[in-house]
Structure 1
Amino acid sequence: MSSSLAVMTGGTGGIGCEIAALLLEQGWEVILLTRQPERAREQFSGSNGRFEAVFCDLAKPESLQSISAEILRRNKPIGLLIHCAGKIQPELTKDITSFSLDAQMTINLTSPILMTSQLLSALSSNGHIIFVNSIAGVMPLQGSAVYSATKFGLRGFARSLALEFKPGILRISSIFLAAVDTQMLQQETQDGGSVLNFVSQPLSARNVARTIVQISKGAGREVFLPKIDGIFGHACLMMPWLLRLSTPILEKIGKNGLRRFLKRKAVSKSTTAQD
């Protein structure tokens, strides 16, 4: 590693928390930008000073600007920059409000673009920028059009950014995830999120984090988890009729998957309560 400093957002969420823990285990110094610094400090209280939680509201560009300036003043090369924060508000297009539009656009697209731009000069030689994206960035998500639009946009930004640098100068990766078993997924489900999240059972946050940390050690690339979702998503882009034709079948499978997921959660909660 040319630098052992990692800067990341979304570290108090299910995936981000696991990523931060793995990086600390591997000897990285981690700066976590979060709206809940006290919670983050409690989560990583045993990190022996290699962890720092800094308050930053990604919904406010001025907050991000000041934090980026502070990181630059430290004059320490950044080896790893991970954009893990995300927000989804399921709603039909007729119900979109300026509030939900701004919130999703700012967290999912504006903040990673601005943060990358502001910290780009601090990236070490052959540093790695990782965008934690979503399958919704390659496959339109009915009922979450704004979220899908932000994730399509994030893919476009990452790909364009990669073209600005020769191989070996800066590595750019995008990780496109299907549903992951996190609090965000549970909240999305309660808010009426797509049953397509449960066509296959949600991924483990810990396993996703391990994959992302492993990817950070290699060349920049696009990775789809699971791989079959990426294949199907690209097929739907080339043949738009495929998604419309298959949606009724996928929704039926997803409803059954959701029932299994909720049943498993109920059993797990009951077992935990008994212990």
Structure 2
Amino acid sequence: MNPKNEQEQVVLVTGAAGGIGAAIAELAVARGHRVMLTDVDEVAVVSRARSLGPRAAACMLDIRSSAGWTRAFEAAEAVFGGVDVLVNNAGITHTRVARDLPEQQHRDIVEVNLLGTITGVCTALERMTARGRGHIINVCSMTSFLPLPGYATYCASKFGLRAFHHSVAIEERDGPLDFTLIHPPSTRTGMLAQEMADPSCAIAFAEKSYAPQRIARAVVDAIATKPVEVVFPPLAGRVQRIAGVFPRLMRRVIPVAEARGLRQRERLLSHSDAHR
């Protein structure tokens, strides 16, 4: 099916005030879908939705809140009708090696990236199953395959999300819902700027970063094509997925990549300083 000719859907996107989520919402509207943008930053997400015209609306959602999820679905239903596609995109990270990260920040990462997404999926399961159709797209990470220094708890949350996603998809295999998992690599968002400030996670710069619009295209295409899982980049991502199976190989390869990332980070910082 040509994604540009896909049937119009009602799409609920989390973390849609900026970054990948905003790019997903913009492209989905351009493709003819109706989109409920949600974000913990109410002012920013309402402004973003207004910029997209009448096919977009917004509401505040802290994905850690079960009641918040109910309100978000009810808001989408009130404006556009029942939600056809849930795009779980919202996520956070706090950088630093695990021993230096405050306990609350470890908890924040797990509560948002894993437990918040679980809450959203469970809300969608109930409502979509009652309607007899629906598609859940979870935006995960390439770190769900390959643990990285500087990201220990973030990686753990994404490992857990991948396991949860596929377990639920198997449980619901005889039901009316579709499930897709998208694994972005390093992406040029505010999160990458946060990583630039911390040399402990310089491995983020070992490979080319992607524009949010590139990830958005994969997500919005998936509304029509319904792939089971998408990795980035298509070839190198598959290699990384295989490498993650072998701990001894990881412990040899990752320090090499980390050293490359440190060099590239220094070049980027020097380039930035030169243009100030």
Structure 1: tracts of 5 or more residues without a match: 271-275
Identify the range of structure 1 (235-244 vs 53-62) with the bigger mean alpha-carbon deviation: 53-62
Match of 1:129 in 2: 136
Q: Could you say what secondary structure the match of 1:141 adopts?
A: coil
Q: State which of 107, 110, 120 in structure 2 corresponds to 1:115.
A: 120
In the alignment, the residues of structure 2 paired with residue 105 and residue 203 of structure 1 have an alpha-carbon distance, to the nearest angstrom, of: 25
Residue 47, structure 1, aligned to residue 24, structure 2: no
- Offset at residue 139 of structure 1 (A): 0.7
Which stretch of structure 1 is more off in the superposition, 43-52 or 203-212?
43-52
Question: Which one of the candidate residues 256, 260, 267 is aligned to 1:253?
Answer: 260
Secondary structure of the corresponding residue to residue 86 of structure 2: strand
Q: Which moved more, 1:83-92 or 1:60-69?
A: 60-69
Q: Which residue of 2 aligns with 1:242?
A: 249
Write the distance in 2 (CA, Å) between the matches of 1:264 and 1:223. Answer: 33
CA distance in 1, matches of 2:13, 2:241: 29
Closer, same or farther: CA 221–263 of 1 in aligned 2, 3 Å: farther
Give the aligned residue type for 2:107.
D
1:202 alignment partner, SS class: coil
Once residues 40 and 229 of structure 1 are traced to their aligned partners in structure 2, the CA distance between those partners, rounded to angstroms, is 34
Which amino acid in the other structure matches residue 83 of structure 1? N
One-letter code of the match for 2:56?
F
Establish whether residue 93 from structure 1 lines up as the match of residue 91 from structure 2.
no
Indicate the residue corresponding to 2:3 in structure 1: none
**The residue matched to 1:87 in structure 2 has which SS?**
coil
Return the letter of the residue paired with 1:84: N
- Structure 2: state its 5+ residue gaps: 1-5
Task: Answer yes or no: is 1:151 the counterpart of 2:158.
Answer: yes
Question: CA distance change for structure 1 residues 206 and 23 in 2, over 3 Å: closer, same or farther?
Answer: same
Work out the CA distance in 2 between the residues paired with 1:203 and 1:131: 18
Give 1:217 shift. Answer: 1.2
Offset at residue 233 of structure 1 (A)? 2.8
Q: How far apart, CA to CA, are the structure 2 residues paired with 1:112 and 1:166?
A: 20
Q: Measure how far apart 1:125 and its partner are.
A: 4.6
Tell me what 1:183 maps to.
Answer: 190
Residue matched to 2:42: 37
Q: Structure 1, residues 79-127: CA drift from partner, whole Å, max 9, x if none? A: 2110111111123232343311221111101111111111223335553
- Find the partner of 2:111 among 106, 111, 114: 106
Structure 1 vs Structure 2 CA RMSD: 2.6
2:203 aligned residue: 196
How far did 1:183 drift? 1.1
Given the two structures, how large is their TM-score scaled by the length of structure 1? 0.86
Instruction: Kindly provide the CA deviation profile for residues 236-258 of structure 1, in whole angstroms up to 9, marking residues without a partner as x.
Output: 33321111112232122212322
What TM-score do you get using the length of structure 2 for normalisation?
A: 0.86
Cα distance in 2 for partners of 1:10, 1:70 equals 16
Deviation at 1:48, TM superposition (A): 3.3
Question: How many angstroms does 1:187 deviate by?
Answer: 1.1
Give the equivalent residue in structure 2 for 1:273.
none
- The aligned counterpart of 1:5 is 10
